Chains A and B, each alone.
Chain A
Amino acid sequence: MLEIEIDGKKAQVPDGSTVMDAAQQMGVYIPHFCYHKKLSIAANCRMCLVQVEKAPKPLPACATPVTNGMKVFTHSDLAVQAQKGVMEFLLINHPLDCPICDQGGECQLQDMSVGYGGMKSRYQEEKRVVFHKDVGPLISMEEMSRCIHCTRCVRFGQEVAGIMELGMANRNMHSEITTFVGRSVDSELSGNMIDLCPVGALTSKPFRYTARSWELQRRRSVSPHDSLGANLIVQVKHDQVMRVLPKENEAVNECWISDKERFAYQALNSDQRLTKPMVKQGGEWREVPWNVALDYVAHGLKDISREFGGDALAALAAPSSTLEELYLLQKLMQGLGCGNVDHRPRQQDFTSDGKRVGTPWLGMRLAELNNLDAALVVGSFLRKDHPLIAQRLRQAVRKGGAALSLIDLSADDQLVPLHARLTVAPSQLAQTLAAVVKAAAQQKGVELPAGLENVQVCEQAKAMAQSLIEGEKKAVFLGNAAQQSAAATQLHALGLQLAQITGATFGFLGEAANSVGAQLAWALPTGANARQMFEQPRQGYVLMGVEPEFDCANPQQALAALAQAKMVVLFSAFKHEPALAYADVLLPMAPFTETSGTFVNTEGRIQSFAGVVRPAGDARPAWKILRVLGNVLDLEGFGYNTSEEVRDQVLGGASEFATGLDNGLNGVTLQLPQAGQGMERIADVPIHFADPMARRAPALQRTRDAAAPAARMAAATLAQLGLQAGDLVRVRQGQGGAELAAALDEGVPAGCVRVAAAHASTAALGEMFGAISVERA
């Protein structure tokens, strides 16, 4: 510990602290622009100059290490003169267009100029003009003359997002922040640069000129978009969501959110919102009052249950539904005598049902990811499935030198140096993980688990095993694609084996916002699971928040089952066009901003939130719809007054973290699947197609990540099929097909074609990782 005195106050600070760290610890404010606790030190704005005893010149607090007994003065003449001088310099070329600047009211430069600036400028020369740049649909760089060159955005790209998409070109006062020539900013974390920009140079394109910051109310919420459960500040004006910002929570999202979380709100205010209950009668859709709709639904479900039995019904909910919604849905179905309830529309392999010891989860706390020494992620489109988990792993590699290895289906650039990587066809995932298990067993000299005798071990697998054995803190994770794969249970068992041999922690990178919560809410089948309920079509379906053509493992099969059903009830926040064909009732459900509820994130953290705006039109929180439906059906136990009552009933007393989390498996024997034959499909779920909100957010839909799917193949595969990149091809699975452009992607394993799921153009296809044929169209 070092002793430091700032402005007469003494304190002890840890070794290696800077004066800025010490000041923050002591609650002393030192003005700054370029300094940010999550970014490297640049010391370029010079706003934090302070006087240090015995130093002839003022020193930047952000970059000056504390020495024992150091005396610092932040308000001495020398310090104040330096700060005022810098403030004057920062303002001379700044346009001072605060009245029309989006940053006005929340601008660090504005605030600081009140504190340190003069009333009048001594600068009477011409001001610099910086040309605007178009960097894509999310970030506006229209007024770059406002830039003060703090380079926070540049450092964010290099250090946090992992890719330098912005840089400072030119010298002297002609310096400007710009992209590489002709490029845009495409990182899935790019929106954070808007928050980081201390002035109005980088602003939000969708939010631009729609409200002033002081008109907005700040309300807390939790992201429904991925399993991390990022904490959000939703800003609201006149009962409308105007923008979404991160709420700092070091244990969860630190101070970042992904672009999906930031910009998906646009969908909430779109004209695609479903605002009235609708019923199809005689092929015609009619808007009806709630009581009519609910009576209709209650009668319909009851009739089917009475006539064909409860097993003729099925309910499928999105895993991003709230805990309360999921609990009440399964309770309602149980009340109707139906155990066919599930929340895993993308899953294909359910053999672990009934064999899991507890609720599958990350296996550790999110914050621990940063301190890992070694990690192996199996079957994940890491950056796009889990932008902020990928970010944490990136920091583990960058700062802690962790060895990160991947077994994945496409060699997408994860923007982090990898220790080892094996990119294989979907049918090879289990074999490949088995090779790592075998290598680990051999290296540790322990007995080889039965069933792995014939597995071939390659160098990369050895390297992976070695890193897991050597590291002190280590983990093996299964990603979304592994959980969606046909060999999910085998991968689960192999992962446990590997963890046991190497001493690593085993966990799941949860698929969706409430994947853990859904299990706790018993939204699990006692009858048919998500696959069986479509394989063996039912008479009646209740769908909550899912859009089967995009969200199901086999949309073809799901749509066929729905088409033949007597009754399909869809709880949806949006008027989902395709559903108009197969649904009979559309119930307008409130999205996360309009309902209270709870998500349990992948680390088991229970995060409840309140609605931030009133529901649009006649939309209602789904837990209330289900409650009323329960009452209309005269079912027991639907007398809840608040969503908190539901939550407390589900979670018992647990408040911060859920209990019963355990990744263990009982009674699963290793039996590696046979190698696939013929062409295999690799279906990623593109980040901005992953949930109904993102699909309807116009700005997100204009990003590069939202480009229409192509049939991506390696050169060898293209050549084998006699195709060239750009050719129009017809891909087929079962009865359905799609016409797509062929594209060259060397990251796709040979013999595979990567065709994204969750997009209208590929909705007619079948299984995400099934057999597929490709021919010239």
Chain B
Amino acid sequence: MAILGAINPVLMAGLDGDNSWQLKDYVARGGYEMLKKILAENIPQEQVIAEVKASVLRGRGGAGFPTGLKWSFMPRSFPGDKYVVCNTDEGEPGTFKDRDLIRYNPHAVIEGMAIAAYAMGATRGYNYIHGEVWEMYKRFEAALDEARAAGFIGQNILGSGFSFELFAHHGYGAYICGEETALLESIEGKKGQPRFKPPFPASFGLYGKPTTINNTETFASIPFILKMGGESFLNLGKPNNGGTKLFSVSGHVNRPGNYEIPMGTPFSELLQMCGGMRGGRKLKAVIPGGSSSPVLPGDVMMDCTMDYDSISKAGSMLGSGAVIVMDESTCMVKSLERLSFFYYEESCGQCTPCREGTNWLYKVVHRIENGLGRPDDLDLLSSVTTNIMGRTICALGDAASMPVQSFIKHFRDEFAHHIEHKTCLVPKDVQWAGSGFHKVAS
């Protein structure tokens, strides 16, 4: 099943058939109509971009940058090759929406990219797919073949004179390749390491040419926005937070999975759609936007609505919409240890604060978790995160620091308890009771 639950779905609407990913299904759902219309009527590029701006579609990869604005940065008149790149390098812990988009609705991504290329005068596109979802990569390649055979991509699309070649490219699973400039390096065949900005990709991107990089979900939204009109898309959500969005809910809920809901839907409603908390236990904490966004205590989260502004006001980020739910059986020190390990392991090693700092953070948290914490460790951790944040080439340093800062801020007593008593504040039997694994084992 493509999706577990939805309210007013757009991207995932009508995907219940067995072959929803195939071209004929997509066309039956009204697919490629917008591309055909734009090409047939020769709609001006500015008009397409204006429509995207009107929708207030914000980048679905995590940063939430307004897509229409990003497109307008592209120097359309620049002679020679320009690129559009789709970022399907979905590596953030908790995020699993893009893989389902290209698994169930790949042609929406292709159509979105072709329209984007038209709007920005790009001639070539790449979809960079995470190396650990090989099956989806193959499915996307199959969809590309279909689209190419049907003339939706390639030379002289639908006789309009507009040409756009699109290729899929799979990585090998490095988290850093989801950073847009590292992704470009990786496509170029180099080691995936972020570039220093400026220059930004819009002026010096793939192979040194102007390039726009958007998330998979962003591209997939484009045909629907143009079809329903930017205004209507915006109105699906709330002001400054247009449209619907996919949320990947994981953790201690009864039905973890992808949900498509309008922006501004209360978190409590989303939690209900997920079947509520597993075992009826109490909600302790939520990481609302993927592992790099600051954790929020359960009660704060219950007052939030699922949109950029509300979550940001509560002190976190909507990010990619990966909601990690933790109940009262969770040891926050252990959770942080796992997250810190991830960022330590995935730091590309290029710049000093991130390479050395993520390693230091993990080692200290690991020590605390294993009963070797020292009284000044929490101050040390906070000082190390301060020295990382804002000092690195890309955002990975910040991403590694924010969980540490927020976990200590909201759950300081658990860390203090660990340091003082060499054990968890949450009793071991409560932890085990919350763990499906231990239930089976006993």
Contacts and interface: CB of A to CB of B under 8 A. Distances in A.
Interface of A: 41-47, 49, 56-58, 60, 63, 65, 81-82, 85-86, 88-90, 92-93, 122-123, 125-126, 128, 148-149, 167-168, 170-175
Given A46-B392, A149-B350, A173 B355 contact: yes
| Interface residue range, chain B | 20 to 34
B196 A82 contact: no
5 contacts: A42-B196, A46-B352, A58-B391, A172-B355, A172-B359
B186 interface: no
Given A125-B363, A168-B349, 4 more contacts: A49-B391, A58-B391, A85-B386, A148-B352
A174 B346 CA distance: 11
Contact of B387 (A47, A89, A168, A172): A89
A45 B196 CA distance: 12
B393 interface: yes
Contacts of A175: 348-350, 355
Contact of B393 (A44, A58, A81, A170): A44
- Majority secondary structure of chain B interface residues (helix, strand, loop or mixed): helix
A321 B198 CA distance: 52
Pairs of residues from A and B, 3 with the lowest C-beta to C-beta distance, nearest first = A175-B349, A85-B387, A57-B390
Q: Tell me which of B198, B356, B386 has the highest count of chain A C-beta atoms within 10 A of its own C-beta.
A: B356
A58 B355 contact: no
Interface centre among B174, B348, B391 (most CB of A within 10 A): B391
B355 A149 contact: yes
Contacts of A60: 196
Given A46-B351, A63-B196, A168-B349, A125 B364 contact: yes
Nearest to B359: A173
B353 A172 contact: no
B421 to A, nearest CB: 21
Contacts of B383: 122
A509 to B, nearest CB: 33
A406 to B, nearest CB: 27
Nearest to B192: A171
A42 B393 CA distance: 10
B357 A171 contact: no
A65 B363 CA distance: 37
A171 B174 contact: yes
A304 B364 CA distance: 87
B204 interface: no
B344 A41 contact: no
Interface of B: 174, 176, 191, 196, 198, 344-353, 355-360, 363-364, 367, 380, 383, 386-387, 390-393
Contacts of B393: 43-44
A149 B196 contact: no
A43 B348 contact: no
B176 A171 contact: yes
B344 A149 contact: no
A672 to B, nearest CB: 44
B349 to A, nearest CB: 3
A179 to B, nearest CB: 15
A167 B347 CA distance: 17
Nearest to B374: A124
A178 to B, nearest CB: 12
Contacts of A170: 349
Contacts of B352: 44-47, 86, 89-90, 148-149
Contacts of B358: 172-173
Nearest to B367: A125
Contacts of A42: 196
Contacts of B198: 65
A88 B391 CA distance: 13
B355 to A, nearest CB: 5
Contact of A172 (B347, B363, B364): B347
B189 to A, nearest CB: 13
B412 to A, nearest CB: 20
Given A41-B196, A172-B355, A46 B344 contact: no
A167 B193 CA distance: 13
A123 B374 CA distance: 12
A88 B387 contact: yes
A174 B347 CA distance: 10
Contacts of A44: 350-352, 393
A171 B347 contact: yes
A63 B197 CA distance: 9
A49 B352 CA distance: 12
Contacts of B349: 149, 168, 170-175
Contacts of A57: 390-391
A168 B351 CA distance: 12
A122 B380 contact: yes
Contact of A86 (B346, B350, B391): B391
B350 A46 contact: no
Nearest to A57: B390
A95 B346 CA distance: 24
Given A172-B349, A172-B355, A174-B349, A92 B360 contact: yes
A223 to B, nearest CB: 36
Contacts of B347: 171-173
Contacts of A43: 196, 351, 393
Nearest to B376: A122
Contacts of B363: 125-126
A89 B357 contact: yes
B405 to A, nearest CB: 15
A433 B287 CA distance: 72
Contacts of A63: 196
B356 A89 contact: yes
Nearest to B364: A125
B185 to A, nearest CB: 13
A63 B392 CA distance: 13
Contacts of A122: 380, 383
Nearest to A126: B363
B360 A123 contact: yes
Contact of A46 (B174, B345, B353): B353
Contacts of B355: 89, 149, 172-173, 175
Nearest to B175: A171
B400 to A, nearest CB: 11
Contacts of B387: 81-82, 85-86, 88-89
Given A85-B387, A89-B356, A92-B356, A172 B348 contact: yes
Q: Which of A46, A58, A82 has the most CB of B within 10 A?
A: A46
Contact of B390 (A58, A90, A123, A148): A58
A297 to B, nearest CB: 64
A168 B350 CA distance: 9
A125 B356 CA distance: 12
Contacts of B353: 46, 85-86, 89
Contacts of A173: 344, 347, 349, 355-356, 358-359
A174 B386 CA distance: 23
A88 to B, nearest CB: 7
Contacts of B344: 172-173
Nearest to A84: B387
B391 A82 contact: yes
B356 A93 contact: yes
Nearest to B383: A122
